[in-house]
Amino acid sequence: MHDIKAIRRSPEFYDSGWSKRGLAPQSTSLISLDDKRKSVIAELQDLQTRRNDASKAIGQAKAQGRDGDAEALIKEVADLKEAIREHEDAERRASDGLDAALAGLPNIPADDVPVGPDEVANVEVRSWGHPPSFAFEARAHDVLGQDLGLMNFEQAAKLSGSRFVVLSGALALLERALANFMLDIHTQEFGYREVSPPILVRDDAMFGTAQLPKFADDQFHTADGFWLIPTAEVPLTNLVREDILQEPELPLRFAAHTPCFRLEAGAAGTDTRGMIRQHQFSKVELVSISTPEDSLDEHERMTSCAATILERLELPYRVMLLSTGDMGFSARKTYDLEVWLPGQNRYREISSCSNCGDFQARRMNARYRPKGQKGTEFVHTLNGSGLAVGRTLIAVLENYQTETGHIAVPEALQPYANGLKSIGPAA
């Protein structure tokens, strides 16, 4: 959410930022909407003043025995009350129109974000590890899982339709082990506070993190008005909604393992096989609430925390700085972690770590009081996957596959998998 006062002060800055995202200049139309709102407010205030003056004059006219004047003033007050009601409605419409226009515009990219239309303009920042070399043709995770008898898409289709999966036996154990492994590292080593949040949220929570109103078609909505969370970013970030924090409390760091739900309405025909893109998936999410001064460092730290999971599992990855055309709506800067998948012979996203600046905080009215000051400022919010559990499972299956179709369990994961060292076909 943007501040119309800031847009009025620096329209060129905002138009330049939106142009980097492929949008036409917006400031002129926004300022026009704000002018209209201000004009209605001024007219409303004038009507209220006239009503108050006329109301006082009624008493004076009656006290002086000027009954005719009093009757005329009473009629004038009645007419003014009707005009005030009409102007109050007009003010609401003008304010709602401005708010809707502001809510539909994305965040302004940071200065160091590469400008480009899509992922082709993303920039590789660094890489870690080397893709494994097999003496056999690498198989995709869905082939491996189904050959093991532990990954079943047909059963899931009977239950729920396409883009679902049933994991069983050692693969179900491995998925649970991965989540616990991630949470332990983030909470015990990196200081994130584990949270078990609701996975059903209300409109204002989804608006706060900018899933609404623009991306309503990508979300699951219940019959009684709740939304199934697309990521734990939504409840975790909204923990500070409408709060005023004290500077010594910051940064706040939260971690949660939750199921996530996405309609994938805009992904028809893509990644239709396997577990890459599903309606329901599991993710460990990281959220930080920081001061503006610390958010850049917090972003680098969060990305490093997520990357550590891949390094402990010895999974090759690279860090990509996303371009303006590939970056999310709320983000001002995003790093994607992409893990190597031998079955696809390419890197695929496994985590996005974004600095949203004060964009979400304005929508949530989440503020903090700087030390030694009476006034408040908006916090900065950050979020990232630490990691997507299902995609990490995919990466383990494909990078640790053997010629016989067995899956070696990464050494770091074995204590979380009851000592399991290898996964073979279901008995």
Domains of the chain in start order, with CATH, are: 4-103 (1.10.287.40), 119-423 (3.30.930.10)
Identify the residue with better confidence: 267 or 274. Answer: 274
CA nearest neighbour of 300 among 412, 190, 182 = 190
pLDDT at 426 over 90: no
Q: How far apart are CA 368 and CA 380, in angstroms?
A: 10
Tens of pLDDT, residues 172-185: 999 999 999 999 99
Question: Could you tell me if 342 and 137 are in contact, meaning their C-beta atoms sit under 8 angstroms apart?
Answer: no
The reported pLDDT for the residue numbered 270 is 66
The reported pLDDT for the residue numbered 263 is 93
Give Cα separations from 90 to 78, 86, 280 (angstroms): 19, 6, 43
Q: What are phi and psi of 28, to 5 degrees?
A: -60, -45
Q: How far apart are CA 45 and CA 90, in angstroms?
A: 13
pLDDT at 265 over 70: no
Average pLDDT of the chain, as a whole number:
95
Alpha helices in 203-275 (DSSP H): 203-208, 233-237
CA torsion through residues 276, 279, 281, 283, sign: positive
Tens of pLDDT, residues 1-21: 899 999 999 999 999 999 999
Question: Could you tell me if 260 and 219 are in contact, meaning their C-beta atoms sit under 8 angstroms apart?
Answer: no
Please give the positions annotated as active site.
262, 277, 349, 352, 391
CB neighbour burial string for 57-91, b if at least 16 within 10 angstroms, e if fewer: bbeebeeeeeeeebeebeebbeebeebbeebeebb
pLDDT at 77 over 90: no
pLDDT at 266 over 60: no
CA nearest neighbour of 362 among 284, 285, 413, 292 = 292
Q: How far apart are CA 271 and CA 336, in angstroms?
A: 18
Reduced to 3 states (helix: H, G, I; strand: E, B; else coil), residue 81 is helix
pLDDT at 427 over 80: no
pLDDT at 101 over 90: yes
Q: How far apart are CA 337 and CA 124, in angstroms?
A: 10
Tens of pLDDT, residues 26-67: 999 999 999 999 999 999 999 999 999 988 898 888 888 887
Tell me the average pLDDT across 71-76.
Answer: 87
Q: How far apart are CA 282 and CA 167, in angstroms?
A: 12
CA nearest neighbour of 195 among 258, 140, 243, 135 = 258
pTM of the model: 0.92
Tell me the average pLDDT across 261-268.
Answer: 74
380: which strand partners? 290
pLDDT at 268 over 70: no
